[in-house]
């Protein structure tokens, strides 16, 4: 029986499909992250073998001067992960920079994609605009290549992304196909997984999506008082001057948040407020106070779990160390097979 060693192919040992996704450790996670990805990851870890990457090398593409903040940001991010229900017994959480094999894979994969192809990635101009970058660095231009190395390193079958990231994953798919065409079928061609309910939250100022750089966020770590303060200053319907004026519910951040975080038991009250708001029968202050209550009810158990994990810094280190060791073993296996396929394993046994 072929055990995969002779050909360099991987022996299938798991029935569960494998997923890779993650975040750059650039600061505190917020409600937008929860709606856009975190809640979905909690569901995915029950159905798939999940690798959650803390992509610290990717932060260098826009903020190479901020490396002093990374260690603390990573620690806080893991606390956020655990507090919302990501379980290290079900998912692998690891640090990208602690796996040197990913850099070697990125160098190899970089030779399978052209500069014009990378310049056509739609999100490149958006990232440059947001980061006030006029000319992209080699690292920023090659962001999708390093991302391909991240994905293919663990041989992920599926990559959960929002619609704005689909173009990045297509670069990964092209690289995997080109490698397989040149050197034989060695790498999986990952599929994009875009959950139907994956959404975005507008910022508290009503301008675009919730974003740390825009300062329009409600963090998972915000205190009840901070949440209430932010909610009371939220953007609503700019054309509504008095509480007796009919207001617009559609596109109104306050009602978007209410519908995103209300429980089944609160839905009747939310619907009532929507009808009253349209008819000019309720003021913004009353609705906002109700929203602050809804959000704090949602965040209270997250705050409680976070406080418990904060008492166990040694556990956080253990989770990261064990997760990184597991991911590195996968990377070493992938790199070994890749170099064997390319006949670059000159001194291997």
Asked whether the whole model's pTM tops 0.85, one would answer yes
What confidence tens digit (pLDDT) does each residue in 88-130 have?
Answer: 999 999 999 999 999 999 999 999 999 999 999 988 888 888 8
| Residue 198, pLDDT score | 56
The CATH architecture assigned to 18-200+312-341 reads 3-Layer(aba) Sandwich (3.40)
- CA atoms lying within 13 Å on the CB side of residue 105: 32
Please write down the HEC assignment for all residues of 298-331. Answer: HHHHHHHHHHHHHCCHHHHHHHHHHHHHHHHHHH
pLDDT of 349 > 80? The answer is no
| Residue 3, pLDDT score | 45
Work out the pLDDT band at 1, boundaries 50, 70, 90: very low
Q: Tell me the average pLDDT across 18-35.
A: 94
Q: Contact at 8 Å (CB) between 42 and 10?
A: no
Parts of the chain belonging to CATH 3.40.50.620:
18-200+312-341
What confidence tens digit (pLDDT) does each residue in 300-323 have?
Answer: 999 999 999 999 999 999 999 999
CA atoms of 118 and 124, how far apart (whole Å)? 8
CA atoms of 39 and 303, how far apart (whole Å)? 16
pLDDT of 329 > 90? The answer is yes
CA atoms of 175 and 181, how far apart (whole Å)? 10
End-to-end CA distance of the chain: 21
Work out the pLDDT band at 208, boundaries 50, 70, 90: confident
Residues recognised as catalytic:
129, 209, 212
Work out the pLDDT band at 48, boundaries 50, 70, 90: very high
Least confident of 78-82, 104-108, 345-349: 345-349
Packing angle, helices 284-310 and 70-84, rounded to 10: 110
CA atoms of 333 and 349, how far apart (whole Å)? 14
Q: Tell me the average pLDDT across 331-335.
A: 98
Q: 224-307 — its CATH code?
A: 1.10.240.10
- Identity of the highest mean pLDDT range in 27-41, 126-140, 298-312: 298-312
Parts of the chain belonging to CATH 1.10.240.10:
224-307
């Amino acid at each position: 029986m072929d055990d995969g060693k002779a050909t360099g192919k991987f022996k299938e040992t798991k029935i569960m499909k494998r997923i890779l996704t993650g975040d750059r450790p650039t600061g505190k996670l917020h409600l937008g992250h929860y709606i856009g990805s975190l809640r979905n990851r909690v569901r995915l870890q029950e159905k798939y073998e999940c690798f959650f990457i803390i992509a610290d090398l990717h932060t260098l593409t826009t903020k190479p001067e901020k490396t002093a903040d990374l260690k603390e940001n990573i620690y806080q991010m893991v606390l956020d992960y655990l507090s919302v229900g990501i379980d290290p017994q079900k998912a692998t959480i690891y640090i990208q920079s602690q796996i040197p094999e990913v850099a070697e894979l990125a160098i190899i994969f970089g030779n399978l994609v052209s500069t014009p192809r990378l310049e056509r990635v739609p999100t490149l101009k958006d990232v440059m605009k947001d980061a006030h970058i006029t000319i992209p660095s080699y690292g920023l231009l090659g962001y999708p290549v390093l991302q391909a190395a991240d994905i293919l390193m663990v041989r992920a079958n599926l990559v959960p992304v929002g619609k704005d990231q689909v173009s990045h994953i297509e670069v990964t798919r092209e690289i995997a196909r080109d490698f397989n065409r040149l050197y034989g079928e060695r790498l999986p061609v990952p599929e994009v997984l875009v959950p139907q309910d994956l959404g975005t939250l507008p910022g508290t100022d009503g301008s675009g999506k919730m974003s740390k750089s825009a300062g329009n966020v409600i963090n998972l770590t915000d205190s009840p008082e901070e949440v209430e303060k932010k909610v009371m200053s939220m953007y609503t319907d700019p054309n509504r001057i008095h509480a007796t004026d009919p207001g617009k519910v559609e596109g109104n951040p306050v009602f978007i948040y209410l519908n995103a975080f209300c429980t089944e038991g609160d839905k009747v009250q939310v619907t009532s407020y929507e009808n009253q708001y349209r008819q000019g029968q309720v003021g913004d202050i009353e609705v906002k106070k109700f929203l602050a209550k809804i959000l704090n009810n949602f965040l209270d158990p997250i705050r409680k779990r976070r406080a418990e994990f904060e008492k166990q810094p040694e556990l956080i280190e253990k989770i990261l160390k064990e997760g990184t060791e597991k991911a590195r073993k996968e990377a070493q296996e992938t790199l070994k097979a890749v170099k064997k396929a390319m006949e670059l394993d000159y001194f291997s046994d």
